[in-house]
Amino acid sequence: MMTPPRYSIGLLSAGLTLCLAGVALAHDPDEEEVEVPEVSVRAERPVAASSQRFIPDKEIVLQPQGRPAQVLRLIPGFVAIEHSGGGGKADQYFLRGFDADHGTDVAFSLDSMPINLRTHAHGQGYTDLNFIIPETIAGVEANKGAYLPELGDFATAGAVNFKTRDVVKEGMIQGTGGQFETQRYLLMFSPTKDRVRTLIAGEGYYTNGPYLNDNQYHRANFFGKVTTNVTGRDELSLHTTFLQSRWDGSGEIPLRAVSLGSLNRFGSINPTEGGHTLRTTGQLNYHYDTTTGGQFFANAYGQYYRLDLFTNFTFFLNDPVNGDGFAQFDRRVTYGGDIGYKHRADVLGVPIVGTVGFQTRADDIHLRLGTQRARVPTGTTVDSHAVEVSYSPFVKAEVQPLSWMRLVGGLRSEFFTFDVSNRCLACTERPAGRAASSIVLPKLSVILGPWAHTELFLNYGEGFHSNDARSVVARGASPLARGRNYEIGLRSRPWGSDGLELSVTAWRIDLQSELVFVGDDGTTEIRGASRRQGVEVAARGKVWGPLYVNGSFTWTHAEFRNGDAIPLAPEYTAYGAAILQWPEGLTTQLQATYLGVRPLIEDRSVKSPSWLTFDLSERYRIPIALPHGRMEAFLFVQNLFNTEWEQAIFAFESRLRNEAAGVNDIHFVPGNPRTVMGGLAWYF
């Protein structure tokens, strides 16, 4: 059975290939059996915007191991950094002028199952990717803007979907070791590969990091998936994941203490920061292909999640005796799914693909915020139970009225209910109440061409991010913040389909409200309307023979409508990678990541420095004949030139124990020094 691709328009060449293959394999009808060789069909993925990308697994495996979020830098303009001085927390994400914090304005999913967590104890849309084992990923779908009707909450700046493998041709046992007592072990194999296709993977990871206060970060992951065809026209997939981790964090440190020499760059003011988390998921994906060109699809998922997080940003500003340590606790069950029907047809000779679908999601959440000292709770500020439910019907149409024109568009509607109850009558913050809200989001993309291997894209789409349920019921805040996206771009392969792909995109996002709920202190910040606009330039593909390149440069201007700067929004980002496949079985990758200067406060008087780091990756297929399988060696060198750089960086007031009053200062998490990791993999 051949499963119809997700994108249907523009695959006529693939269909012609199959027809020709069928003619070539014609046989005598009197024969009882005929052996049919495997036929490989390759076709370009039709895209709706010049900024849309698919990241293949061959680039993912060359990324340094340890942080799954590192693969995101392969997306033009996307930067992910670790910002707690310890690896177990969600990363901080930057895209299109958004400091998306832990995911507020970027929608993440795994095989279309949402990863962002609504009304989270630490931040709206909190997205921890550490439950993903990178080797299980077949590819990453990246969509900028809000132009696709099937994408909903948090898809303001863009959306990222990790697509997992169904099966691996070779099993793998891998061991990795490196500086700072870093260790990683991986087992991945497919017990069955035919009608029932299975994949099992397990990962163990440990590191102390470069900090004087050892991270003692350990992570255990499991992934299991089974895929089968119940009939000859359908596919059923079930998979599960499990994550358990704990870590000690060094936190953000004040620049003044480092400049005076009283604190080492990799030191800590409060060495008791850190936390532990657990996440387990289950997912079902099903589709049935009708005999008349239709496809019925249904997906369902369930998740259990918990997080205990212990932090202290301001040190002794509010409590000179016990310190300002606070704890955040999140316990939740999330479940939901989608159902729909897609149909392909010709209407008066015009190819049309229509889709109608319905998505729903429910989050049942227990949240608590309070003070702590050395991870011992000393008080409670917020203790809430929240139930947040969304219902999201959508329609989508893909039409090709002319050979040089495609139209993709539709409508999406959202209806949210928020129900928050207070569990602590003595708490200083007691959000409680019920609210409901709805929004309708139009989308349209026009694709013209190709002419001379070049396509022109025109896009408009409205997206949104939901706000924290506590802020919605307590402050009467806008529950759903609308964002209007505009984009125009070109994508070209001037040297043919096998050559370098070039793209340039100009875009703008107008956001109705920057209102966010600050989980760190249980309050709401109303930031007002904003505008972001910029340009992206990217190139990727084979340059010559064994040389493959992937590079991008982005410029962004982000400000509130009153002219104030949006704190932490980078003006420039850049990424470049060169991959060289040597004939002796060696693959080399050299990559560079650049993050430009960012304003840290609205009046632009305080800015962060820019940074540029280089990473080197080597993978070598060892030419040794083994009774079973083969061996591969690999080496990763992060921050190749040992650059001194800052990951997370903020400007706020804090107070050290020996200071009489608070001081406005820059606080930062140092970037890792040169770090070397290497290991062996046995493929069997």
- The dihedral over CA atoms of 309, 313, 317, 323, expressed in degrees to the nearest 10, equals 40
Cβ pair 182, 207 in contact under 8 A? yes
pLDDT band (50, 70, 90) for residue 66: confident
Separation of alpha carbons 624 and 634, rounded Å = 15
Measuring CA to CA, which residue among 550, 542, 501 is closest to residue 44? 501
What was the pLDDT predicted at 624? 86
Flag whether pLDDT at 284 surpasses 50: yes
Confidence label for 523 from pLDDT (cuts 50, 70 and 90): low
Mean pLDDT of the chain: 90
User: CA separation (Å) from 664 to 128, 250, 601, 670?
Assistant: 30, 20, 11, 19
The pLDDT of residue 37 is 43
Tell me the CATH number of domain 61-480+487-683, given options 3.90.1660.10, 3.40.50.10710, 2.40.170.20, 2.40.10.120: 2.40.170.20
38-47, 135-144, 654-663: least confidently modelled range: 38-47
- The model's pLDDT over 358-380, given as tens digits with 9 standing for 90+, comes to 999 999 999 999 999 999 999 99
User: Cα dist. 579→240, 546, 576 in Å?
Assistant: 33, 8, 10
Residues 577 and 592: their CA atoms lie apart, in Å, by 6
Return the residue matching tokens 């319905």: 358
Give the residue from 370, 644, 420 showing the smallest Cα distance to 521. 370
Confidence check: pLDDT of 656 > 80: yes
Token pair listed for 278: 């657990």
For 580-627, the pLDDT digits (tens) are: 999 889 999 999 999 999 999 999 999 999 999 999 999 999 998 888
Would the pLDDT of 545 be above 90?
Answer: no
Which one, of 157, 148, 167, lies nearest residue 57 by Cα?
167
pLDDT tens readout for residues 398-447: 999 999 999 999 999 999 999 999 999 888 888 899 999 999 999 999 99
- Asked whether the bond before 210 is cis by omega within 30 degrees of 0, the reply is no
pLDDT at 45: 64
Determine the Cα–Cα distance for residues 648 and 87; give it in Å rounded to an integer. 13
Does the pLDDT at position 526 exceed 80?
no
163-219 pLDDT, tens per residue?
A: 999 999 999 999 999 999 999 999 999 999 999 999 999 999 999 999 999 999 999
- Using one digit for the tens of pLDDT, what is the confidence trace for 97-113? 998 788 899 999 999 99
- Write down the pLDDT at residue 15: 39
What is the pLDDT, as a whole number, of residue 560? 93
Residue 256 host element (H or E)? helix 255-259
User: Averaged over 134-142, what is the pLDDT?
Assistant: 96
pLDDT for position 515: 59
- pLDDT at 95 (0 to 100): 95
